[in-house]
Structures are given as C-alpha cells and as structure tokens.
C-alpha cells in the first residue's frame, strides 16, 4: 500500500516537472500531472530504458536514474500531446498506436492470447 502511494506521489511530481519543462503547467491540474507522470514512466520504460539500461518508477525503482528516465518519458508524452492539441489529433494518435501495438504483438503466430486470437479472426484481415 505504501509503495502505491509513493508511486502516485512521485508520478505527480514527475508530471509536474515535465509540465514545467514543456510549459503546459497552466493547462493541467493534479490529476493530469499524475497521469502524465505514470504514463510517461511507461513510455520512458519502453523507449528509454533499453538505451540507458535503467528501470522506471513503474517497476518500483525510485533512484535518480529511474526518475530521470521516467521524466524523459513524461516529456516525450507532453511533446507528442503538444503536437496534437485538439481531440481529433489525439484520437488519431491513439488509434495509430493501438494499430501498431496489435500489428507487432498479434501478427506473430506465437501469440496465443484471447485478444490476438479475436483480432486474427476478423474477416477483413484474413
């Protein structure tokens, strides 16, 4: 329980610092800072962790390098969201990200999850 609270607080601080760096602080509140910090840590874990060989706050690592990787992911997230400020651009990015995820994870025949099986069963994808 205490780890969860620390994760939320650190995510809020990372989101707040990232919003200061990207100058979006006036547009977002505490909840948005928490979301940006945590989702940014996921992005940092996916893109920056392999480069720097450091885990993120989502893996329970609260060291300085992990905080910096998580902050980098949050800055990347805010930079992408700044490119697409209106809701239409954001929806397009989410749909494209979902399609890329499905393509790379479900088109391999080793994937036997229920989601991938149902995606492969769609008639127009056959």
What is the tens place of the pLDDT at every residue in 13-37? 999 999 999 888 777 788 888 888 8
Looking at the structure, do residues 46 and 77 belong to the same domain, yes or no?
Answer: yes
Enter the tokens of residue 10: 């650190």
Whether 101 shows a pLDDT value over 70: the answer reads yes
* Average pLDDT, integer, range 28-54: 86
Looking at the structure, do residues 90 and 126 belong to the same domain, yes or no?
Answer: yes
Angstrom distance (rounded) from CA 110 to CA 60: 30
Looking at the structure, do residues 71 and 89 belong to the same domain, yes or no?
Answer: no
Whether 107 shows a pLDDT value over 70: the answer reads no
3-class secondary structure, 85: coil
Looking at the structure, do residues 118 and 74 belong to the same domain, yes or no?
Answer: no
1 versus 5: which is more confidently predicted? 5
Looking at the structure, do residues 100 and 59 belong to the same domain, yes or no?
Answer: no
Which range marks the domain in which residue 67 is found? 1-83
Looking at the structure, do residues 52 and 76 belong to the same domain, yes or no?
Answer: yes
Angstrom distance (rounded) from CA 34 to CA 20: 14
Whether 122 shows a pLDDT value over 60: the answer reads yes
Domain count across the chain: 2
């Amino acid at each position: 329980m205490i780890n969860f609270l620390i994760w939320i607080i650190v995510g809020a601080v990372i989101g707040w610092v990232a919003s200061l760096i990207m100058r979006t602080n006036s547009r977002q509140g505490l909840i948005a800072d928490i979301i940006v910090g945590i989702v940014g840590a996921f992005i940092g874990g996916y893109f920056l962790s392999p480069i720097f060989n450091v885990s993120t706050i989502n893996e329970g690592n609260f060291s300085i390098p992990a905080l910096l990787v998580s902050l980098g992911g949050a800055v990347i997230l805010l930079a992408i969201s700044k490119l697409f400020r209106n809701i239409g651009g954001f929806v397009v990015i989410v749909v494209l990200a979902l399609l890329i995820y499905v393509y790379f994870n479900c088109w391999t025949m080793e994937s036997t999850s229920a989601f991938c099986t149902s995606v492969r069963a769609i008639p127009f994808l056959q």
